[in-house]
Amino acid sequence: MKISALSPLTERLTGPMSKLADSPVSQQAQARTTRLLGKLPNPALSTIVKLIGSNPAYKKADPLMQLIMAVNSITSDGMVTEDVNRSRKIFHNKVTALQGVKPAIQTTTDLSFNNRDGQAIKLRDYLPILADPDIIHELPLVVFFHGGGFVVGDIDTHDEFCHYLCHYSGFPVLSVDYRLAPEHPAPAAVHDGIDAVIWAEEHAKALGMQPGNIIVAGDSAGGNLAATVSQQLVKMANEANNESTSDANDELVSKPANKSATKKTIPPVMQWLIYPITDNEGSYPSQQTYAEGSLFSLKDKVLCEKYYLGESQLDKADPLTSPLHGSLSELPPAYVVTAELDILVDEGETYAQRLKESGNHVKIQKVASLPHGFVNLTGVHAGARCATIDIIKNMKAFYYDNVEQQS
């Protein structure tokens, strides 16, 4: 049972951080405290959790993870609040403070491109350390979309994860800093995602890669974007192919060439979805089971939907916002990762199952005893770190089993 009056110990652990949540210094202090607490034996951690109080739904988590979630619940108003700018600042400071020593890679380079609206979109390019640098053109490029409910997050909050991804897969990574809501409601983020993949295809050789070998990936909202971008690029490719066939037939009657014809759209070769948002319309049991006390609450999800869709012309069931309601046939192979203690676990697994039923190659992995957002906890939680490395290695194996061998 969660106690309403904090004990002196709990007040010392959380009080100052709650009052100074906006401060990077406070977030650094909280991160240091978390690392110190992680060195305590489990019985001691369990005692602290009992003093603070935690949601019984998370008893499967180890004591340190229970403590992380419990402290987050009493020191935070939520991942997203009515003050969006403040939420972004706190999320950025909190997540970057939790980052630890990043795995070694060769280089990172900040880039940018102009989207369809002429706005500059930041990119960060990660290159792995390779025994033979010449083989890089044989590797896939992972185009990654960060999480944050379409409202918070950026390429810095997921910089540590992208280092892990690049290091443990050995693949180059291109992280996309797409536009956020509510300033840019749906489908702005989807458009940026599509434009980023097309830009990467067109500049593949400059990036050291061969065209036609892109994996789209993302966590949470980024997983939604990866799934939606996959659907839309397949749709665009099919439409382009149909137009080419029509133009070829029209040549028989000497119709002038289509001057607006563009390069053929190339869909991704694979999609990697990490605890994705797949259905903004539906209601699932896990949304109630894990509604409170985790790192991404049902209140957070509802508020993110409000910002993402509130000023949009799209509804909750539109395929551009909810890929579960899109066309699921002939999509790239999908490796779908869910977290057991997550409000999104049911809709993520439902999406994976629907992909399977539609004839796609799919791997589903539910990561046991961890909550939503665990890939951002690698610097402070050994279990999250091991799970993150595991899903990266499994993603690499899935690529070689389902893409490389088929090409």
Domain presence at residue 185: yes
Domain presence at residue 82: no
- Long-range CB contact pairs, 112-121, < 8 A, 24+: 113/195, 113/196, 113/199, 115/179, 115/191, 115/192, 115/195, 115/196, 116/191, 116/195, 117/191, 119/179, 121/176, 121/177, 121/178, 121/179, 121/192, 121/195, 121/196
For residues 283-292, give the mean pLDDT: 97
Q: Which domain holds residue 25?
A: 8-76
For residue range 32-48, what is the model confidence (pLDDT) as tens digits? Answer: 999 999 999 999 999 99
**306 shares its domain with 243:** yes
**395 shares its domain with 348:** yes
The whole-angstrom separation of Cα 381 and Cα 375 is 10
Number of helical (H) and strand (E) elements in the chain, helices listed first = 12, 8
For residue range 312-339, what is the model confidence (pLDDT) as tens digits? Answer: 999 999 999 999 999 999 999 999 999 9
For residues 53-76, give the mean pLDDT: 92
**288 shares its domain with 214:** yes
Domain presence at residue 173: yes
247 is catalytic: no
Confidence of residue 407 (pLDDT cuts 50, 70, 90): low
Res 3: pLDDT: 36
The token pair that represents 365 in the structure block? 């992995």
117 is catalytic: no
Domain presence at residue 307: yes
> Which of 220, 286, 297, 322 is flagged as catalytic?
220
Confidence of residue 90 (pLDDT cuts 50, 70, 90): very high
53 has pLDDT over 60: yes
> Which of 177, 192, 195, 342 is flagged as catalytic?
342
Domain presence at residue 90: no
- The number of distinct structural domains making up the chain is 2
**169 shares its domain with 54:** no
**184 shares its domain with 305:** yes
**70 shares its domain with 113:** no
Which CATH number goes with the domain that contains 135?
3.40.50.1820
- Which neighbouring-strand residues pair with 274? 219, 337
Residues written for the chain: 407
For residues 369-383, give the mean pLDDT: 98
User: Which of 76, 99, 134 represents a domain boundary (last residue)?
Assistant: 76
User: Which of 76, 98, 118 represents a domain boundary (last residue)?
Assistant: 76
252 has pLDDT over 60: no
Amino acid symbol at 362: V
Domain presence at residue 36: yes
Give, rounded to a whole angstrom, the gap between the first and last alpha carbons of the chain: 55
Res 23: pLDDT: 79
Q: Which of 98-102, 152-156, 245-249 has the lowest mean pLDDT?
A: 245-249
245 has pLDDT over 80: no
Res 21: pLDDT: 57
Domain presence at residue 332: yes
342 is catalytic: yes
Res 75: pLDDT: 85
Domain presence at residue 84: no
Tell me, rounded to whole angstroms, the distance of Cα 270 from its chain centroid.
Answer: 15
Q: Which of 175-184, 205-214, 248-257, 378-387 has the lowest mean pLDDT?
A: 248-257
**325 shares its domain with 229:** yes
Q: Are 394 and 402 in contact (CB under 8 A)?
A: no
**274 shares its domain with 141:** yes
Res 296: pLDDT: 97
**235 shares its domain with 277:** yes
